[in-house]
């Protein structure tokens, strides 16, 4: 059974593009937000960045979190979500979950932006890796019948204004 949640808004994209900074700005403005699972799993030492194990653990948690929130009627912004663990090599259950657990059709995608990109202990990918992930996510979103909305290269406050205006029009 499909769970269609038009009040769930997904922020997705490559590493280091400002998703978490934007989520924090939305939280500061009083919006309900859900934090990213991938970085927390890495921080907790349960999986390494880029590993298949990370994708499985994150997918399991993101699926459980989405299903637990299915009755929420207010708008919610997610820093990554169920689809973020899906790759061409992902097991069938991940693909099935990505098709069954539906966010709003508008999915916000900050583009790769060299000016703000930085590696750290949890983000070891290069900027070139970020570009490749961005392209893969764009393809995945279209395959899953989402409408990617590319965010401007702007401050977190300006990006939040952009997102909220788009959500209000949706």
User: DSSP secondary-structure letter at 54?
Assistant: H
Query: Over the stretch 4-18, which tens digit does the pLDDT of each residue have?
Result: 999 999 999 887 788
Domain count, the chain: 1
DSSP H or E run through 19? helix 19-28
- In whole angstroms, what is the distance from residue 10 CA to residue 140 CA? 14
Query: Over the stretch 51-72, which tens digit does the pLDDT of each residue have?
Result: 778 888 999 999 999 999 999 9
Domain ranges, residue 28:
3-169
Sign (positive or negative) of CA dihedral 88, 93, 96, 100:
negative
Closest by Cα among 25, 28, 23 to 9: 23
Mean per-residue pLDDT over the chain, rounded: 90
pLDDT at 47 > cutoff 80: no
Query: Over the stretch 97-145, which tens digit does the pLDDT of each residue have?
Result: 999 999 999 999 999 887 876 766 666 677 787 788 889 999 999 999 9
Q: Give the pLDDT confidence score for residue 123 in this predicted structure.
A: 61
Beta strand spans in the chain (E): 3-4, 8-11, 32-34, 76-79, 101-102, 106-109, 147-150
Query: Which CATH number fits the domain that encloses residue 39?
Result: 3.40.50.300
Closest by Cα among 57, 76, 74 to 66: 76
Q: Give the pLDDT confidence score for residue 51 in this predicted structure.
A: 76
Closest by Cα among 19, 50, 45, 57 to 126: 50
Average pLDDT over residues 30-49: 86
Q: Give the pLDDT confidence score for residue 151 in this predicted structure.
A: 96
């Amino acid at each position: 059974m499909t769970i269609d949640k038009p009040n769930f808004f997904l922020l997705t994209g490559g590493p280091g593009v400002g998703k978490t900074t934007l989520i924090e700005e939305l939280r500061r403005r009083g919006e309900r937000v859900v934090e990213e699972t991938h970085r927390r799993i890495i921080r907790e030492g349960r999986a390494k960045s880029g590993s298949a194990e990370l994708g499985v653990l994150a997918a399991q948690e993101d699926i459980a979190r989405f299903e637990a929130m299915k009755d929420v009627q207010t708008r919610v912004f997610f820093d990554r979500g169920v689809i973020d663990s899906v790759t061409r090599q992902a097991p069938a259950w991940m693909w099935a979950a990505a098709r069954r657990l539906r966010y709003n059709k508008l999915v916000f995608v900050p583009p790769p932006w060299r000016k703000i990109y930085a590696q750290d202990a949890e983000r070891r990918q290069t900027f070139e890796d970020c570009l490749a992930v961005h392209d893969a996510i764009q393809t995945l979103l279209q395959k899953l019948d989402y409408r990617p909305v590319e965010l401007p290269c702007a401050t977190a406050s300006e990006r939040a204004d952009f997102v909220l205006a788009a959500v209000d029009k949706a």
